[in-house]
Structure formats: C-alpha cells, structure tokens
Structure 1
Amino acid sequence: MTTLFTGFELGGLRLPNRVVMAPMSRVRAAEGGLATPSMARYYAQRASAGLIVSEGVQPSLIGQSNPGTPGLHTDEQVASWRQVTEAVHTNGGRIFAQIMHGGRVSHPDTTGLRPVGPSAVPATGELFTPTGRQTPPVPRALRTDEVPEHAGSYAEAARRAVDAGFDGVELHGANGYLISQFLSTNANLRTDRYGGSVAGRIRFAVEAAAATVDAVGAHRTGIRLSPGGTFWGVEETDVPELYTALLAELSRLGLAYVHLEATAPEETLVALRRAWPGALVMNPVLPLGAKQTGRSEADHWLGLGADLISFGRAFIANPDLVERLRTGLPLAPADETTYFEGGDNGYLTYPAYQYTA
C-alpha cells in the first residue's frame, strides 16, 4: 500500500518518502541575490523531506520579482548556493532549485529595469519594492525575436543550479509569473506564434522546458503549474484544453515531474493526472488560502493518483514535518508576520517537537 512514507524513484533520485517541501518565498537573500548561511541552515533543518524545492530563484536581473530574493545568474550567486546544497546533502536530503522569472510582476525600484511580459498589460495587486508597496507598472511587451532569450534564461539558470550542487530544477510555470502570463488569455494578447491559440500560448512554456532539458537533462527538470489560477490578475478561459495540450507537449520531453496546485476543480485536476504519464507532485490546497495541507489531504490525493505531495506553510514552523506526520504529532503554527520580514526570527527559530517525560 502506497503511503506518504513509501519511497519513490524520481528522475534517478531515490526519495525516502513522498513528502515534498513546496517552494516558498522567504526573502532572506543577501545583497546581490546571494544565498546566506542562514538559508543553508533553514533548508538543512528540513532535509528529511523526500524532496525540497527551493524558493523562487530569478534567472536574470530583469526576471527578479521581489527584493530580497536569490538569483542564479552570476558566478557569485552560484558559489553562495553551494553552502545550501552541501548542507542539505550532508543532512541526507535532496533539493531542486525553483527557477522563477517574474515577468510583469516586478518593478524598476527593485531591479532598475522596466519589467517585460507577453503584452503591455500590468498585473493587479500591490508589489513589494525597496521603497514600499507599489502598483505594478505597465510591462514592455517582448518582441518576437526576444522571447527565445527569456525562455532560454531558465536553461542557463538550470546549468548554474547544477553547478551549485542542486539535484535538479523546477520551472515556475504557475501563480501569474512569466510562464503563467504566456498561458493566460488576458495577460497574453499577442498575435504572433506565442499568442492567440492554445498552441501559441503554450509555446513559451514548452520552449523553456525543452531548453532546460537540453541543458541539464529531463531527469533533472520539473515544472509547477496552477491551472485556472488567478494570481496577479491572470485569467485562463479554457483550462482543460490548455493544460491537456501543454501536458501532451511536455510528456514528449520526459520531465521528471509536473507539480500541480489545487487551483481548479478536483475533477479537472484528476483529468490532468490521467493526461500526464509521468510523476505527479500535488499541492492539495490553494496556496495562501485559509487551509493548510495536512495528512488527510495528502492521503486523499495519493488515492487519486498523485505520486508525491507538497506541503508549504506547514514546513515553516515544523522543520521535522515528516516525523510529525508519520507519528501523528501536532503541528506548530507559523507566525505569519515573520514570513517576509527578514532575519532569523521565524526562520531558524522553530524547533523540532519537544517530547516531555
């Protein structure tokens, strides 16, 4: 019988359990997008997960969304990440880097550059910037001849990730960032080969994934998707058709996994599970929604055919989450005020479960 604690072979990696630490922005990077000793400790504390997926890592300066996030586009950034990957491996873990290009979800106060996107349509909501919360600016629409460069930036960052010691990478194709913007029907108003039809709107995602596979191998490449998600104002009007077509193209590449968020009705997600022939990581609850993933949600989705289950916020306050899930121990609550405030408080200060006599 398959449980959360049954091992799994993922792209040549032997995972001791099916618990995945989901990518979560914690904005603790040093100036220049460098990983820090505190980040090494944070991830090492959680190395009992079957797989860790790092916070979103920008593949270029123009791809940076928030201040305080790490990068993988300079030699200094690569060197800084080695302390993280070595710490995780020393503690027996496995870690993929999530490559995240923010696209239009960025601001000149953060990067010094005007954001780019598939079309000149701004995101909705408020952006974090070094000078406070601000309205997203109108991005510059990428020219057709520029699009392959940005698709290729995922592959370049993936090469650097492997050089830094990561076991693989996950392309962030979800939550309203650049890949998601190209998939969208309201952020992508293009009339060239990267827009319009379903085949046009999935092209950028497929090219980014194909370039990454060429760079580091299919066994080291996953992708995260949020079918029907509305983060940062994106809309998708044809979710089943769009994602069935996308998964069909991605299946030709032999990716290590697809990571789905619960942003569509369950019947749609189950249909996508059936359409995807490879390993599926499922995030069973809406990211940043009222509910957090627990054992019951995990078991439910394992029963529906997911291979691995990702847990987000539960990992923040429970570095020993795998053991707590295994033994039925209570989960500690996280202090939401410390999610993005920087420093070690609310980052390295959550202990493993304290047993009493």
Structure 2
Amino acid sequence: MRLLEKTELGGISLKNRMVMAAMTRGRTDTNGLVGEMTIEYYTQRSGAGLLFTESIRISEEATGSPLTPGIFTQQQIEAWKKVTTSVHDNGGVIIAQLWHTGRVGHSVDRNGKLPFAPSPLPITGMQHFTSDGMKDYEIPQEMTIPEIKQTIKDFGQAAKNAIAAGFDGVQLHAANGYLPNQFLAESANQRTDDYGGSIPNNARFILEVMQELISAVGSEKVGIKISPFNPYAAIVLNDPVATYNCLIEELNKLDFAYVEIMRRSPYSASSENDGTHNEMELFGRKIRHIVIANAGYDKVSAEAELEKGIAKLISFGRLYIANPDLTERFEKNASLSEPDRTRIYGGGEQGYTDYPFCNE
C-alpha cells in the first residue's frame, strides 16, 4: 500500500504518506491556551506520517471564532510545547497551521472591534458562530497599507513562535475564505492599490507572507494550503483558473517545502466538479514543490491519487476525527468509525478524544 510507504518532507523523514489535515476544533480556554485534552488528541493521532494542527491565530487581531488557539503569547507557546513534546515522544511529526481570519469574524469575540479585510465587503448568505450565538456578518474595516505590512510581520513572528514551541514547521492557511484567500478573490478585494485591481496584485499578499515565513524559519519548514474552487465564506473569483495559475507560477519561484491542495468536495453537485475543474490535474501538475492532496479521500481514492504521481502525500480530515488510529485501520482493513458531527467544533472530551481504537 503506497499510503504506508515512508517518505520525506522538508528534510524530515515521515513514516507513511498519510497526513491529518488541519481542522478547527474550538476547545481552548478564553486565552487561546490549549490544554490536556489537546495534548491527548494529537498524541492519539501521532501514527500519521504528519499532523497539521487546527488553525492557530497569529495575533489577537487574527481572531475570528471563540475558543480557538493562538501562538502570539508566551503562555500560548508554552502550552503548545506540551503538545509537540508528546507528539515527538510518540514518534510523530507536527506542523502548525498559521491563521488570520480576516472578515470571517465578529466584533462579539474581538473586544468590540470590527474585523479587518482587504475591502469593506461583508460576507452574505450565511452567519458566523460567536460566543453569543449565530450572528450576521458585519462590514469589515478595510486594511491600510501599514496594517497589511504589520500583518505580514505578524505571520513571521508567529512562525518563529511556532518553532520555539517545538513544531516541525508551519503552514500558511491560504484556503477556505480566510484573509489570504480574501486578497485573491474579487468578491472580497476591490482595492486599487498594490494589493488589488489585478490578478498579480491580488496574489501579492500571499507571496509576501510566504517570503516572510521563509525568511523567519527557513524554506524547509514552510508550506501553504490553497483551495482554488472552494466558495466558502462567499469567496468568488472572476477567473479562478487564471488566478491560481498566476499564484502557482509565482510560488514556483520561491524555495519552500510543499503545497497542500484542497479540492472541492467530490460530493458537491456543482458543475465545477464535473471533471473539467479537477484541481489536481489543473494545478497539481504545475507545482514544482511536493504536493499534498486534501479533501474527501478514502483509502481507495487516496491510493488512486498517489498512483497518478502528482501528489506525494494525502491528507484526511473527517476520517481522522473519529479514527485516531486511521493508519492501522487502513493497514488491517478494519471498519471505520463515524464522527459525531454535533461535537466537531466545540465541547469537551466527547467527540474529541473518546473515539475507540480498533484494538479496543
């Protein structure tokens, strides 16, 4: 089974090609500190070749949802050290996903402050989960050039903090409608300065953040996640293929470790999944870095993807929620548990660390 083959990523040896994808879990305290449950959660899943953390806020300004972790205070760094130490002690490799939510937030959880975004364009057609229940999205504040530059520096500092916390690397979360993705999309970015108004300008923010991360912690410790056709959070690009071709062409000029491509759900009824918009074929073949394929894979489809030779690793989200020993289950052809969807995004041990192992 190719999924169980050893491989390397950024100079780090991985015991298999299975990756746990980053997933928002919402189980910190009010200071963004992870605790014993989080240590147990990641340690349980350290049989994966690589673990991506849940999204981690790079700064207070990056806050979007309640009870999500940060890595911008010394207390947060020390809390994450306990996670990375336990994962390493159990033979695992773990990378921090760095997160700025941009307009995907609400003042309720931001001390009354409106979220930042490329342009003052609110998300429509959906509501945001807050500590005070579901709320309509607010009109965000347009970022000034100094605020953009400071945010780029915040990403660099967060990367340094992640390495200080013992992580094996960092990943820029440039997918799923969050701030870097917002700069790419005309539905969120109508700027007319250096950071908007054309595809190259729309891509500038992501490229400058990537350069900052590489400078901060070194090329082998940096990667990025993209989601070319994911419309979450009202993300609409005028020409997604041209935009991502441009972004990839520029990313190919940078020295870093990998690109994780999140494909649109294979279960989507959208015509964009009719085979003419296959993210791996359209973009994966053009990427000169190691490619990690993400979203909706099972054992059979993951093996088939690896056989194509585009992706070198496959990341699994939902399957890892309910199957902490997913690698062993694949190896033994054991049955898979289903996640409790009511407890994915918050709560206690139930639906988090209480899923059984196949030998129990």
Equivalent position SS for 2:48: coil
Summarize deviations over 1:74-100 as a string: whole Å, max 9, x none: 111101111100010011000000001
Tell whether the 8 Å contact from 1:11 to 1:219 is kept in structure 2 after alignment.
yes
Q: Distance in 2 between matches of 1:116 and 1:346?
A: 32
Q: How many residue pairs are counted as aligned between the two chains?
A: 347
Q: Which runs of 5+ in 1 are unaligned?
A: 286-292
Residue 198 of structure 1: aligned partner: 199
Summarize deviations over 1:33-55 as a string: whole Å, max 9, x none: 00111100100000010100000
Q: Distance in 1 between matches of 2:137 and 2:7?
A: 41
- Residue 313 (str. 1) matches residue 318 (str. 2): yes
Residue 260 of structure 2: aligned partner: 259
Q: Distance in 2 between matches of 1:228 and 1:244?
A: 13
Question: CA separation of 1:35/1:227 partners in 2, compared to 1, >3 Å: closer, same or farther?
Answer: same
Q: Which runs of 5+ in 2 are unaligned?
A: 265-271
- Residue 243 (str. 1) matches residue 248 (str. 2): no
Question: CA separation of 1:239/1:269 partners in 2, compared to 1, >3 Å: closer, same or farther?
Answer: farther
Q: Distance in 2 between matches of 1:214 and 1:51?
A: 23
Please list, as runs of the form range in 1=range in 2, the aligned pairs for 1:153-232 lying within 5 A after superposition.
153-232=154-233
Q: Distance in 1 between matches of 2:278 and 2:123?
A: 29
Deviation at 1:296, TM superposition (A): 1.4
Q: Distance in 1 between matches of 2:183 and 2:19?
A: 27
Q: Distance in 1 between matches of 2:263 and 2:340?
A: 24
Please, what is the CA RMSD of the aligned residues?
A: 1.2
Which deviates more, 258-267 or 11-20?
Answer: 258-267
Summarize deviations over 1:139-185 as a string: whole Å, max 9, x none: 00011232111122211111000000000011100000000000101
Equivalent position SS for 1:145: helix
Q: Distance in 1 between matches of 2:223 and 2:132?
A: 34
Tell whether the 8 Å contact from 2:21 to 2:316 is kept in structure 1 after alignment.
yes
Residue 340 of structure 1: aligned partner: 345
Tell whether the 8 Å contact from 2:103 to 2:117 is kept in structure 1 after alignment.
yes
Tell whether the 8 Å contact from 2:261 to 2:284 is kept in structure 1 after alignment.
no
Tell whether the 8 Å contact from 1:240 to 1:268 is kept in structure 2 after alignment.
no
Q: Distance in 1 between matches of 2:332 and 2:359?
A: 13
Deviation at 1:268, TM superposition (A): 4.2
Q: 1:297 aligns with which of 285, 298, 301?
A: 301
Deviation at 1:298, TM superposition (A): 0.5
Please list, as runs of the form range in 1=range in 2, the aligned pairs for 1:316-335 lying within 5 A after superposition.
316-335=321-340
Residue 290 of structure 1: aligned partner: none
Residue 235 of structure 2: aligned partner: 234
Amino acid at match of 2:123: A
Deviation at 1:295, TM superposition (A): 0.7
Tell whether the 8 Å contact from 1:170 to 1:221 is kept in structure 2 after alignment.
yes
Equivalent position SS for 1:86: helix
Tell whether the 8 Å contact from 2:185 to 2:237 is kept in structure 1 after alignment.
yes
- Scaled by the length of structure 2, what TM-score is found? 0.94
Please list, as runs of the form range in 1=range in 2, the aligned pairs for 1:111-126 lying within 5 A after superposition.
111-112=110-111, 113-124=113-124, 125-126=126-127
Amino acid at match of 1:283: N
Deviation at 1:267, TM superposition (A): 3.6
Equivalent position SS for 1:52: strand
Q: Distance in 2 between matches of 1:45 and 1:239?
A: 38
Residue 289 of structure 1: aligned partner: none
Equivalent position SS for 2:133: coil
Question: CA separation of 1:317/1:138 partners in 2, compared to 1, >3 Å: closer, same or farther?
Answer: same
Q: Distance in 1 between matches of 2:29 and 2:92?
A: 24
Summarize deviations over 1:284-331 as a string: whole Å, max 9, x none: 43xxxxxxx211120121123111100001001100001111221111
Which deviates more, 266-275 or 151-160?
Answer: 266-275
- Residue 282 (str. 1) matches residue 293 (str. 2): yes
Among all aligned residue pairs of Structure 1 and Structure 2, give the percentage whose two residues are the same amino acid: 38
Residue 37 of structure 1: aligned partner: 36
- Scaled by the length of structure 1, what TM-score is found? 0.95
Q: Distance in 1 between matches of 2:155 and 2:240?
A: 24
